[in-house]
Amino acid sequence: MMFTTAIVLALSVLMVAGPVYAEEGFRFSPRPNRAHLIKWRHWSREVFEEAKRTGKPILLSISAVWCHWCHVMDETTYSDQRIIDYINEHFIPVRVDADRRPDIDSLYNQGGWPSTVFLTEEGEIIVGDTYIPPQRMLPVLQEIYDLYTNRKDELKRELEEIKKRKALIEREKTRGAPDSETIDHIERLLQRFFDPVYGGFGESQKFPNPWAIEFLLTGAFEGKDWPTKIVEKTLQAMMEGEIYDPVEGGFFRYSTRRDWSAPHYEKMLQLNAELIINYAHAYMVLKRKDFLSAAIETDRYLKNTLYDRKTGLYCHSQDADEEYYKQTNRKGLKPPFVDRTFFSDSNASVLRGLVALYRATSDRGYLKRAEALGENILKKLYNPASGVYHYYLEGKGHLPGLLRDNTEVALALHDLYMVTGKKEYLQRAIEIGDFILKNFFDGQKLKSTLQTEGVNPVTGGFMRRYANAQDSFSTLLLFGILMHYEERFKQPWQKVSGEFAQTVEEYIIYSGTYGLAIAWGLEPVMELQLVSASPERFLSVINRVYLPRAILKIYNPEDSKSMKALGYPPEEALYICSNGRCLRPVKQPELSPATLQEAWKKIAKR
């Protein structure tokens, strides 16, 4: 075959009923192209029924509205009349928006966008690639069609062999509980892949890795040399490199060179929000004002360009336009296209970024925006019965029940609770956590990321590195936090953490999220037991301190039942505890950032 046969994936439950043929809902390159002349279908059950009825293979094109090479493929390959005619006659063409259907993207993505994937009538991958230029595409199409129609028995045998090998690999994977050595191992793993010359990880093209930085910030906070070096070098190199836009603010998606130069110019909401968190937290730990400036300027870009006043939500992305972004004077130039789809996971990350900025600056303007955004997410993108919707468009939520969305919103609501003390945010986070337990956890493992209306929730086996390990690690982090409030999250944390402990090497930079998550069960957690009818006075001090792992429990001193159960006098005070042991109570006038920092040192030594 022309390129490598991919992992076989069963996907019948991914299908949702919908229109075929229609151009409605498809998004092509904004520049002149003829890709719309291909008779694209939407992902649906009918597509696979048609494939069975006609005996034709399926051509799956996964694209994104911000993707440069997706646009190029629309303008070249999919605008070639010979290719258009051949696809329409011999294939069932299906087009999927990677952002609006991350469940399908995570299962079929071939390592980038566009992904060009050929499927059987059962949804099994025959072969896959990314961008295919027009001179290669027609021979590829002809070879796949010949294989599928004239050598189908050979293809079936090969696919069966891949299934067997995959099943054998799954059986041979070992489980084992993580321990503190696992956390040290992750730190060494990131150190090994760190580029000491230019920062970041790896020595070719560079992607920002916010979760790896967030994991290392704990080590920096504790005064460890290597984590501090990695964090400082990486964050400084990025904000001084071409990956950062010095005119309008914000970071581009990645750079094609090791030194953070020659970027791909699309700007993604999710990435920029996560980098705001990194830079704000790094300022709190390292006291570098330039890091705080980078966080503030990045937020300014999001507010000026991606914020939608009508919905109170943030748009998903801004298109890549190299000529525009290379200009230092952009006055009078048409800005690149903004995708006005509102995704729950990236908006939740913005909320967390605003909370981080509030904690770094004590500017209540950030807190006000964070609370308003939280309310809009809950109002427009959440339903207790079906969970968090993936995106909001044309006045309603779409695609409920993806694991990532539920996890990210719950994590953001917990962040909001920690700085406001408003219990309704914690209650919503726990409510969403329970939704995840009910729909995605089978008692042993996390199920697939899909929980779509009208179909069964299980699809394609359990998540692995090729199917969004980051999502499962983020959910593990959520379980790790919530188990300190509700005991029922502890067993899921134990099971899921054991699922990945012996294979952490596979995940490299993603391992940072896993390290953050397992630390909540293996390392000290600061439990802030606040006895106060007016917690804002205490929180105004607590919020100014970076605490790697902290939870908050608020009690009213007039609640005699709680006071008796805790053994506390009915007086306002902060009890700083960990693992069932507390330091002496701190009265509000005595509370300072230094008090909390010293308390962390004492707890960390235990």
What single string gives the DSSP state of each residue in 290-337?
HHHHHHHHHHHHIIIIIEETTTTEE--EE---HHHHT-S--TTSPPPP
The number of beta carbons lying within 10 Å of the beta carbon of residue 529 is 18
Label residue 24 by pLDDT band (50, 70, 90): low
CATH topology of domain 192-340: Glycosyltransferase (1.50.10)
Residue whose structure tokens are 């580029």: 195
281 against 43, higher pLDDT: 281
Residue 17 pLDDT? 34
Listing from the earlier edge strand, what are the strands of the sheet with 58-63? 92-97, 58-63, 115-119, 125-129
Structure token pair of residue 530: 């606040």
CB 63 within 8 A of CB 70: yes
d(CA 315, CA 340): 5
Looking at the predicted structure, is the pLDDT value of residue 6 above 90? no
Neighbours of 91 (CB within 10 A): 23
Strand 581-582: give its sheet, edge to edge. Answer: 550-555, 526-531, 573-578, 581-582
Confidence of residue 161 (pLDDT cuts 50, 70, 90): confident
Top-tier CATH class for 366-523: mainly alpha
- Is residue 598 classed as helix, strand or coil in its secondary structure? helix
Band (pLDDT 50/70/90 cuts) for residue 469 is confident
Q: Which amino acid is at 285?
A: V
**Beta 58-63 vs 92-97: how paired, if at all?**
parallel
pLDDT recorded at residue 370: 98
Q: What pLDDT does 289 receive?
A: 98
Mean residue pLDDT across the chain: 90
- Mean pLDDT, range 532-552, rounded to an integer: 96
CA–CA gap between residue 576 and residue 590 (Å, rounded): 13
**Position 16 pLDDT exceeds 60:** no
Mean pLDDT, range 248-252, rounded to an integer: 98
Of the ranges 161-165, 169-173, 180-184, which is most confident? 180-184
Q: Do domains 192-340 and 366-523 have the same CATH topology?
A: yes
Query: Backbone dihedral region of 397: left (phi > 0), alpha (psi from -120 to 50 degrees) or beta?
Result: beta
DSSP 234: H
Q: Is 215 left (phi over 0), alpha (psi -120 to 50) or beta?
A: alpha
Alpha-carbon distance 94 to 20, whole Å? 9
Short-list 191, 193, 282, CA closest to 239:
282
**Shortest CA distance to 46 belongs to which of 86, 99, 94?**
94
Q: Dig out the tokens for 562 from the structure.
A: 């709680």
Check residue 332 and report its DSSP letter.
T
- In whole angstroms, give the CA distance from residue 401 to residue 14: 12
- Residue 173, pLDDT above cutoff 70: no
Over residues 111-135, the pLDDT tens digits come to 889 999 999 988 888 989 999 999 9
Q: What are the domain boundaries of the chain?
A: 12-172, 192-340, 366-523, 526-605
Whether 1 shows a pLDDT value over 70: the answer reads no
591: pLDDT strictly greater than 80: yes
- Closest residue by Cα to residue 7 from 523, 436, 467: 467
Average pLDDT of span 215-224? 95
User: In 3D, which of 118, 138, 3, 30 has the Cα closest to residue 77?
Assistant: 138
pLDDT for res 366: 98
Q: Where are the alpha helices (DSSP H) in 173-313?
A: 180-193, 210-221, 225-240, 269-286, 289-301
Question: Mean pLDDT, to the nearest integer, of 21-42?
Answer: 85
What does the alpha-carbon distance between residue 241 and residue 247 come to, in Å, rounded to a whole number? 13
Q: Which residues, 6 or more positions from 18, have their beta carbon under 8 angstroms from its beta carbon?
A: 42, 43, 44, 46
Q: How far apart are the C-alpha atoms of 528 and 560, rounded to whole Å?
A: 19
- Stated as kind and residue range, the H or E segment containing 508 is none
Please state, in angstroms and as integers, the Cα–Cα distance from residue 492 to each residue in 257, 276, 496, following that order. 41, 30, 6
CB 63 within 8 A of CB 112: no
What is the C-alpha to C-alpha distance for residues 25 and 546, in angstroms, rounded to an integer? 44
Continuous segment of H or E residues that includes residue 252: none
CATH topology of domain 12-172: Glutaredoxin (3.40.30)
Q: What is the reported pLDDT for 14?
A: 42
Using the structure block, give the residue that is written with the tokens 């939280």.
374
Query: Residue 540 CA to chain centroid, in angstroms?
Result: 30
Q: What would the two tokens of residue 207 be?
A: 């992607």
Q: Three-state SS for 550?
A: strand
Look up tokens 């099971």; give the residue.
495
Q: Tell me the average pLDDT across 166-181.
A: 74
Residue 460 has pLDDT above 70, yes or no: no
**Confidence at residue 156, expressed as pLDDT on a 0 to 100 scale:** 84
The CA distance from 209 to 260, in Å, is 13
| CA angle at 10 for the pair 7 and 13, rounded to the nearest 5° | 145
Question: How much of the chain, in percent, has pLDDT values that exceed 70?
Answer: 91
Over 50: is that where the pLDDT of 3 sits? no
Half-sphere exposure of 528 (CA within 13 A, CB side): 29
Read off the pLDDT of residues 500-509 as tens digits, 9 standing for 90 and up.
888 888 888 7
pLDDT of residue 107: 81
Question: Do the Cβ atoms of 251 and 269 come closer than 8 Å?
Answer: no
**From the centroid of its chain, how far is CA 232?**
23
With 80 as the cut, is the pLDDT of residue 443 above it? yes
Distance from C-alpha of 449 to C-alpha of 22, rounded to nearest angstrom: 28
Angstrom CA distances, 170 to 174, 260, 440, stand at 9, 37, 19
Q: What is the pLDDT of residue 454?
A: 30
538 within 8 A of 530, measured Cβ to Cβ? yes
Q: Which of 450, 357, 362 is nearest to 404 (CA)?
A: 450
